[in-house]
Amino acid sequence: MRSIYLGFEGKIIKKGAEAELYLIDFLGIPAILKKRIPKPYRAKELDAHIRRMRTSHEVTMMFHARVCGVPVPAIYDVDPDEGVIIMEYIPGPTLKEMTLKDYEVSSIFKLVGFYVGKMHLNNIVHGDLTTANIIVPEPEKPFFVDFGLAERTGELEAIGTDVHLMLRALESTHYSKVKELFNAFLRGYREIMGGKVENVLKKVQEIRRRGRYVEERRAKIH
């Protein structure tokens, strides 16, 4: 499948429920074009407003993360009215792929924790913090992508949810290495967050207890 937008022809590399990603040639360099998909079940004006606001918000969150020193793709162009972002192409495997292929990734997880700590200390929550949303183009340099659910907040609940998402991602796809890799993540995270880590981990445990309670309730109902 191919798409043409703003004169740039590209090849689709990912299709999700909310957006499509295309690898394009942007003024002679490879780039990613992310286009939010219109939702026909929404009123046209409302849909346009939502896609415009989410596109602008995602770019803003990526900018804030970059200012904090977190590796994210550079933004080349934005068209909020069309729900389009053109950004730097980061070649390389995802952290999920590397872990599944048994690469030595403990040091990368420590770096991931370090950068997540930078985000949290500056009131940035990624919102979808999984190993699938971290690309590693070269050793010791993880890039964070997909800030569509990110937000500016210092609330402990949101920060704890971010860390919990990473833990759940490890449990669901890297269960044999959960302890090793999550501890590496926490070592890097603690370098930035210091004593605040204990409160975050307490919140993570609270979130986990809530999840188990809901699962038990569902099991009883069914």
- The residues spanned by each domain of the chain are 2-88, 95-221
**pLDDT tens per residue across span 110-160:** 999 999 999 999 999 999 999 999 999 988 899 999 999 999 999 999 999
- Residue 156 has what pLDDT? 97
Strands (E), 27-100: 29-36, 75-79, 84-88
Superfamily per CATH, domain 2-88: Phosphorylase Kinase; domain 1 (3.30.200.20)
Look up the CATH architecture of domain 95-221: Orthogonal Bundle (1.10)
Told to judge if 128 belongs to the known catalytic residues of this protein, a careful annotator would answer: yes
pTM of this prediction? Answer: 0.90
Residue pLDDT, tens place only, 60-108: 999 999 999 999 999 999 999 999 999 999 999 999 999 999 899 999 9
What is the average pLDDT across 24-48?
92
Among 47, 77, 79, 128, the one annotated catalytic: 128
